[in-house]
Structure 1
Amino acid sequence: MPIFMDFHDLPDGVTAAHVAEMHQADLKIEHKYNCRGLTYWCDERRQTAFCLIEAPNEQAIVDLHQKAHGAVPQRIIEVNDKIVESFLGRIEDPKKSQNTKLNIINDPAFKTLMVIIIKKKSLRKKGFKTLSAAIRGYHKSITNIISKQKGRIVKEKANIYLTSFDSVTNAIKSAHEIQEIYNCVITPDLQFQIGISAGVPVTDKKNIFEDTIKKANYLAYIANDKVALSKEVKDLYESENRQISLGNKQEFNAVNTQDEKFIEHLMEYTEKVWSFSNINVGDFHKNLGFSKSKLYRTMISVIGMSPNSFLKNYRLNKAIELLDKQESNISQIAYQTGFSSPAYFSKCFQEVYGILPSNYIKLQLV
């Protein structure tokens, strides 16, 4: 049977003990609805609860909750148990709560997510093998740091890491240590881009932590030499560490709410149009609701590059992904990534990476 996670917005005054009682009421009659309650998360501070239930369908969960205690969930999504465990650390009740009469679990599902991108800045033939060895070394270091700070690697693909932490402080410490190893080793042909956001697993989206993952990805993408944080992460960190202000740490860039909204709007629009060769900067300022001059100023201030450079770099990053897959030839990749011709694509690629795409393909085959 499929597994679902539901979200309950708890009324004021409802405690973890109350949620435990409701969970026990579910377990007593779950067999009547062909359901099996696996575990739940309760956050008294944020007044939220999330249940993990094996069930034939969403309606069975609604009917079970309605009959057991009347607290119908505001949202239900289908999930993968392994993904849930990667994000939240468990798919069953914690050991300390098992075999007790009430099983009170005051364990928030609110998590801090960090995205780490190891980006290739140069693909020169001379240092290609060294670059590959450096990436392998960084992988081991990143894995060790995440584990040491009690984090979990949810997904790793193409030098991009999605990680989950119970504590904002541990996520910030991990980001600091990862930046430290990069600064100590100094690999000029690589760049680390790190973005950190925080949120709950179930929102109005269909996938677990979808909003939070998206924000962390966007923050990582626009991050340059500094770790990019959402305002919420900054506020939570300073709440947990009353004597420390992230404003005094030069390696972190806390993005304000207005800039967060701009980044989200920019990235969502870019994701829709980047592959179309007829899209240019003019389309950006029209669709983002900015004048040409205001868009340029905002992009320089928030992203650190002009709209034209941003679009070109976005397309080149996509081209690198396609070249690494080795499923298409250079001409196909040029048109797939929105360049007007293979010749122009090769020119732009060489300007940024110091090598022609044809030679980059040859290096991969060595």
Structure 2
Amino acid sequence: MPIYMDRHEVPEGTTAETLAEIHQEDLKIEHEFNCRGFTYWFDEERNQVFCLIEAPHKQAIIDMHRKAHGDVPNKIIEVDPTIVNSFLGRISDPEKSQNTELNIINDPAFRVIMVLETNNYLNRVEADQYSIFNQKFHKSITKTFEKFEGRIVKQNNNIYITSFKSVTNAVFCALKVRSNFKYITPKFEDHDRLLNIAINAGVPVSAENTIFEETVCLATRMCEHLKYQIVITQEIKSLYESENRNAFVNNDLIYTLSLDEQHFLNQIMDFIESHWRDPELDVSRFSHALGYSKSQLYRRLTKLTGKSPNNFIRDYRLNKSLKMLHEQRGNVSEVAFQTGFNSLAYFSECFKRKFNILPSKYIQQHTF
């Protein structure tokens, strides 16, 4: 049977003891609805509860909660328990709560999510260089995450998604990773040693349909498209300074994305992700769709990304084309036209300028 996580908004003043009693009411009748409750998370500060339940379908969870105590979930999503464990660190009750009569749990599901990405030159360096860098890089990253109690949710050769309970640990971890990185590959040119880190925070079930989807999406956009090496949301800054009363975020090392800039970033990414394949997409259409003048769009986009609107669109398409070529999702000509380029020659020229290799040569060297 599928496994679901639901979200409940509970009244202010609700205690962990009250929640434990309510949970026991679910357990008494769960068999009637063919459900099985694994555990739950309670965040007294944010007045939220998240339940992990095996059930035949979402309606069974709603019916069970309604009969047991009347508190119907605000949202239910299907989840993979392995992913839940990666983000939250457990899929059953904490040990200390298992030794109490009511299994009292006061454990928030709120997490700090870090997205770390190195530039995709890793797929293009010489094999011996790549092997050396790869070993040093991943060993250093893993050791640093462990030191700051970060749980790796996802990783590949150039991307890490990591979950932290502590904002302070996440920020200190980012600074340590950044400091260590420049010593790993001293022989590489600076432009070949890019590392971007973004930190956001949120809860596992929001308006989206995948666990921590909203939080990871924004952090990924911040990491992949902003020009700053370490960038955090305004919420992370506030939480960090709240946890460290005598310390403030170092603005020389960390850029804080304002709420207005966060809205703008989501605006441009929502649009570009829907229209990047369209060969007719240009700056005029881009600015008009977002409700900005060309000069406004240019000014705001260059401040955050360091790229003009034209360059932003082109680079987005080129990054998509690199991924498609690496995954063998078409030959050079097919990929060029699928990514919005009208001219094969222009596509090859842009690709060579950005990645320092012709797309045809890339296929020869990196696909099998």
Same fold (TM over 0.5): yes
Query: 1:41 is aligned with what amino acid?
Result: W
Question: 3-state DSSP class of the match of 1:108?
Answer: coil
Determine the C-alpha separation between the residues in 2 that align with 1:96 and 1:342: 63
- Aligned-residue offset at 1:137: 2.5
Runs of 4 or more consecutive aligned structure 1 residues displaced over 6 Å after TM superposition: 122-125
2:326 is matched with which residue?
324
1:130 is matched with which residue?
129
- Aligned-residue offset at 1:251: 1.8
Equivalent residue in structure 2 for 1:295, among 286, 297, 305: 297
- Aligned-residue offset at 1:131: 4.0
Matched, 1:238 2:237: no
Question: 3-state DSSP class of the match of 2:263?
Answer: helix
Equivalent residue in structure 1 for 2:256, among 242, 250, 254: 254
Query: 1:162 is aligned with what amino acid?
Result: I
Change (3 A) 1:37 1:122: closer
Determine the C-alpha separation between the residues in 2 that align with 1:289 and 1:327: 35
- Aligned-residue offset at 1:56: 1.3
Task: Specify every segment of 5 or more residues in structure 2 that has no aligned partner in the other structure, as ranges.
Answer: none
Determine the C-alpha separation between the residues in 2 that align with 1:272 and 1:137: 37
Determine the C-alpha separation between the residues in 2 that align with 1:160 and 1:333: 23
Change (3 A) 1:321 1:113: same
1:220 is matched with which residue?
223
Change (3 A) 1:124 1:351: same
2:315 is matched with which residue?
313
- Aligned-residue offset at 1:9: 0.5
| Aligned residues of 1:226 and 1:250 also touching (Cα < 8 A) | no
| Aligned residues of 2:228 and 2:255 also touching (Cα < 8 A) | no
Matched, 1:114 2:114: yes
Query: 2:200 is aligned with what amino acid?
Result: S
- Considering only aligned residues, what root-mean-square deviation do their CA atoms show, in Å? 1.8
Determine the C-alpha separation between the residues in 2 that align with 1:26 and 1:348: 59
Question: 3-state DSSP class of the match of 2:173?
Answer: helix
1:183 is matched with which residue?
182
- Aligned-residue offset at 1:223: 3.2
Query: 2:82 is aligned with what amino acid?
Result: K
| Aligned residues of 2:298 and 2:309 also touching (Cα < 8 A) | yes
Question: 3-state DSSP class of the match of 2:71?
Answer: coil
Determine the C-alpha separation between the residues in 2 that align with 1:279 and 1:128: 38
Determine the C-alpha separation between the residues in 1 that align with 2:259 and 2:10: 26
- Aligned-residue offset at 1:303: 1.8
2:357 is matched with which residue?
355
Change (3 A) 1:322 1:238: same
| Aligned residues of 1:124 and 1:354 also touching (Cα < 8 A) | no
1:1-33 deviation per Cα after TM superposition (whole angstroms, max 9, x unaligned): 111111111101101111111111111221122
- Aligned-residue offset at 1:211: 0.8
Per the normalisation by structure 1, the TM-score is 0.94
Determine the C-alpha separation between the residues in 1 that align with 2:290 and 2:257: 19
1:142 is matched with which residue?
141
| Aligned residues of 1:128 and 1:363 also touching (Cα < 8 A) | no
Query: 1:29 is aligned with what amino acid?
Result: I
Describe how 1:131-170 pairs up with structure 2 within 5 A: 131=130, 133-157=132-156, 159-170=158-169
| Aligned residues of 1:42 and 1:105 also touching (Cα < 8 A) | yes
Determine the C-alpha separation between the residues in 2 that align with 1:120 and 1:251: 23
| Aligned residues of 2:326 and 2:367 also touching (Cα < 8 A) | no
Determine the C-alpha separation between the residues in 2 that align with 1:75 and 1:142: 35
Question: 3-state DSSP class of the match of 1:198?
Answer: strand
Question: 3-state DSSP class of the match of 1:103?
Answer: coil
Give aligned-pair identity as a percent: 47
Determine the C-alpha separation between the residues in 1 that align with 2:305 and 2:138: 27
After TM superposition, the structure 1 stretch with the greater mean CA deviation from structure 2, 219-228 or 207-216, is 219-228
| Aligned residues of 2:226 and 2:304 also touching (Cα < 8 A) | no
Query: 2:2 is aligned with what amino acid?
Result: P
Change (3 A) 1:112 1:323: same
Matched, 1:74 2:74: yes
Determine the C-alpha separation between the residues in 2 that align with 1:301 and 1:170: 28
Change (3 A) 1:74 1:320: same
Determine the C-alpha separation between the residues in 2 that align with 1:276 and 1:140: 41
Determine the C-alpha separation between the residues in 1 that align with 2:325 and 2:172: 34
| Aligned residues of 1:123 and 1:354 also touching (Cα < 8 A) | no
Determine the C-alpha separation between the residues in 2 that align with 1:322 and 1:351: 18
| Aligned residues of 1:110 and 1:201 also touching (Cα < 8 A) | yes
Describe how 1:59-98 pairs up with structure 2 within 5 A: 59-98=59-98
Count of residues in Structure 1 that have an aligned counterpart in Structure 2:
364
Determine the C-alpha separation between the residues in 2 that align with 1:26 and 1:105: 15
- Aligned-residue offset at 1:110: 0.5
Query: 1:63 is aligned with what amino acid?
Result: D
| Aligned residues of 2:113 and 2:161 also touching (Cα < 8 A) | yes
Question: 3-state DSSP class of the match of 1:45?
Answer: coil
Question: 3-state DSSP class of the match of 1:278?
Answer: coil
Query: 1:333 is aligned with what amino acid?
Result: V
Determine the C-alpha separation between the residues in 2 that align with 1:92 and 1:183: 40
- Aligned-residue offset at 1:225: 4.3
Query: 2:183 is aligned with what amino acid?
Result: C
| Aligned residues of 2:329 and 2:335 also touching (Cα < 8 A) | no
Determine the C-alpha separation between the residues in 2 that align with 1:190 and 1:332: 31
Describe how 1:29-40 pairs up with structure 2 within 5 A: 29-40=29-40
Query: 1:152 is aligned with what amino acid?
Result: R
